Structure 1
Amino acid sequence: MNNNMITTEQQRMQRGLIVCLVFTILIVLAFMISVNTGPIRLTPEELIRTLFGKGTAKQELILFDFRLPRIVISMLIGAGLAVSGCVMQSISRNALADPGILGINAGAGLMVMLFVSFYPNMATAPIMALPLLALLGAGLTAALIYILAYKQNEGLSPTRLLLTGIAVAAGISAAMIVLTLRLSPEKYQFVASWLAGSIWGSNWKFVLALLPWIVVLLPLVFYKARVLNVMNLGDQIATGLGASVERERLVLIACSVALAGACVAVSGGIGFVGLIGPHLARRLVGPKHELLLPTTALAGTLLVLTADTLGRWILQPSEIPTGVVVAVIGAPYFLYLLAKTKA
């Protein structure tokens, strides 16, 4: 029996590695297509030459100043939002949990909108402050949802958490609409684009603002994979196995909120990534977080990169916000999950 368990575990690990390899290959293909999506095309030979610093000045401008920063940001956002959603689903044991659906993205967005509303000139705005402000908004929203959804005798009900998050998100969205009434036309256009999920931070300054959060928080969450496995068994069993449930839950919630807030600061209101990525990964590699978390990060990366590429390609030279493309995919899937989930 032990040999059978070892064999099954080895097969699961091999399957997970194969899935990760396939996702990586698909991401590389999507990357190659994305860098060549736009009014001016680069042949594969020109692309490779330019990547190694041997292209013309025009080719380097197109690739390094316009396309690569946006592609890198899309990939970072996809990984961050997907892993954030995976952590939320595991902590709440709710298949429908997602930073966007629970209102955390809306809280981060409200803080960004307040910043845009009251800062006199966006051209001179301190870009590095945006992830911090978005983190503050996301953290306050998460705390509010947790307080409202938690009951002393019953604990944290998955259904109550979901409904509370939806209600808080609706309230924040209403507040954001009221705030738009005082915006100048230029700022209103920016906010409307942001709310639609347009990746507006498309230069290397935004990459540098987002990168530290991803580089620090993703490895920390991956390190907590075994803790998430234990917490999936329920609070009582996890406590019996020696896990400090409340402390670990707060640490993981903080990581999830920080990832979502930092990503939303430069991506706008992109939803459903934290819902689709974990579910797709879970179907492919199973519930063990040692494989689930990396696969989720790769799935989210592929989803956002593909959505951004499609958004730039379908209506050239105009573009569809990435959040709209993701929503076209995610909304039907959310309804499907809602129909399957028991109250």
Structure 2
Amino acid sequence: MIHSKLIKKQRNIFILLVILLCATAIISMGLGYASVSFDRIIPTLLQKGTIKDELILFSIRLPRIIITILAGMSLALSGAILQAITNNDLADPGIIGINSGAGVAVAIFFLYFPLETGTFTYLLPVVGFFGAFLTALFIYLFSYSKDRGLQPIKLVLTGIGVSIALSGLMVVLISSSERRKVDFIAQWLSGSIWGADWPFIIAILPWLLILIPFTFLKSNRLNLLQLDDSIPIGVGMRIDKERFILLFSAVALAAASVSVSGGIAFIGLIAPHLAKTLVGPRHQLSLPITILLGGWLLLLADTIGRNILEPDGIPAGIMVALIGAPYFVFLLMKKA
């Protein structure tokens, strides 16, 4: 049973994060190469603004903000699941190669399967999922032993190796492509929020609407999977089956995000850790905080990045890496 004081603390943190996320979103709406006065944002959202302000907010800023928040939430939840099922604090869809697998699949699809824009947009998460799932399955099989089960450290090392190999494959794809398409792949590699339009929101949203509630329902299973295998087996859990189902969910979440945001790492590493520091390790409490932190972190990184250098700015993936890479090294040294 969870103590009432801890539940109250979680609710307060949740409310504060919602306020922080909304405040960052409003600031992000006003800042940019074509700025919008902050006192005009609310009237414009209520469709009482000028044509220029409505064009900037509804066609450029708002879809980018929403897709950034959704992508951050997906990556954070995916990282939380991976850390639980592998019992490894270093697991992250970007670090262990899942994002790279999705990215290679998306790149191949973009280069060799020309489709109409509408069809292409809605198929991207599906294509990314197949690439990510095949990569995750490969890593899982190489990290699993019949005698010792899943080996967390081996999983991370295998994932890093696979990620490097897939990066090499991406270079091969780039070298054999025309300039216009190379620009897209380079944009993806840098973690730029390139799918910043309403159709991409419609494409990614169903994945989150299904997988977020599903993960919440599995929160107690995630708690048990973090313990020694004898404990979940003792209560009748089929741990291999549960791990596979949850891995499937983590891959789908990461793939949905990668298909619109590109190769962004470390969100899935940082957000779950911060959430557990704030409210403890129980997933019933930490998952909602993890999701909000993931959305806020990526939105903050994108907002800062696109306003540092105008007009193109610095991709969100690079801004996140500037924070995430030292944090990863810190955790690695802590685990050693």
TM-score normalised per structure 2: 0.97
Is 153-162 or 311-320 further displaced after alignment?
A: 311-320
What is aligned with 1:105? 99
What is aligned with 2:315? 321
2:276 pairs, out of 279, 282, 286, with: 282
- Asked if 1:257 is matched to 2:240, the reply is no
What is aligned with 1:3? none
Alignment of 1:23-34 (within 5 A): 23-34=17-28
Alignment of 1:170-249 (within 5 A): 170-249=164-243
Equivalents in 2 of 1:299, 1:336: separation in Å?
A: 20
What is aligned with 1:70? 64
2:122 pairs, out of 119, 128, 140, with: 128
Alignment of 1:45-124 (within 5 A): 45-120=39-114
What is aligned with 1:36? 30
Superposed CA deviations along residues 122-172 of structure 1, whole A, max 9, x for unmatched, are 857621010000000000001000111111111111111111111111111
Tell me the secondary structure at the aligned position of residue 126 of structure 1.
helix
Equivalents in 2 of 1:39, 1:80: separation in Å?
A: 28
Q: What CA RMSD, in Å, does the superposition of the two structures yield over aligned residues?
A: 1.4
Aligned-pair CA distance for 1:121: 6.7
Tell me the secondary structure at the aligned position of residue 105 of structure 2.
helix
Equivalent residues of 1:108, 1:133 under 8 A apart: yes
Equivalent residues of 2:77, 2:268 under 8 A apart: yes
Equivalents in 2 of 1:111, 1:259: separation in Å?
A: 15
Superposed CA deviations along residues 191-228 of structure 1, whole A, max 9, x for unmatched, are 10110000100110100011100111011101111111
Equivalents in 2 of 1:218, 1:14: separation in Å?
A: 22
Tell me the secondary structure at the aligned position of residue 35 of structure 2.
coil
- Asked if 1:330 is matched to 2:324, the reply is yes
Equivalent residues of 1:119, 1:125 under 8 A apart: no
1:324 maps to a residue whose letter is I
Aligned-pair CA distance for 1:40: 2.7
Aligned-residue sequence identity (percent) comes to 46
- Asked if 1:271 is matched to 2:274, the reply is no
1:236 maps to a residue whose letter is S
Superposed CA deviations along residues 253-309 of structure 1, whole A, max 9, x for unmatched, are 110000001110110001100000001111111000001110000110110000010
2:313 maps to a residue whose letter is E
Unaligned runs of 5+ in 2: none
Equivalent residues of 1:37, 1:312 under 8 A apart: no
1:265 maps to a residue whose letter is S
What is aligned with 1:157? 151
TM-score normalised per structure 1: 0.95
2:23 maps to a residue whose letter is L
Is 83-92 or 316-325 further displaced after alignment?
A: 316-325
Tell me the secondary structure at the aligned position of residue 127 of structure 1.
helix
1:326 maps to a residue whose letter is V
Equivalents in 2 of 1:84, 1:275: separation in Å?
A: 9
Unaligned runs of 5+ in 1: 1-5
Equivalent residues of 1:31, 1:305 under 8 A apart: yes
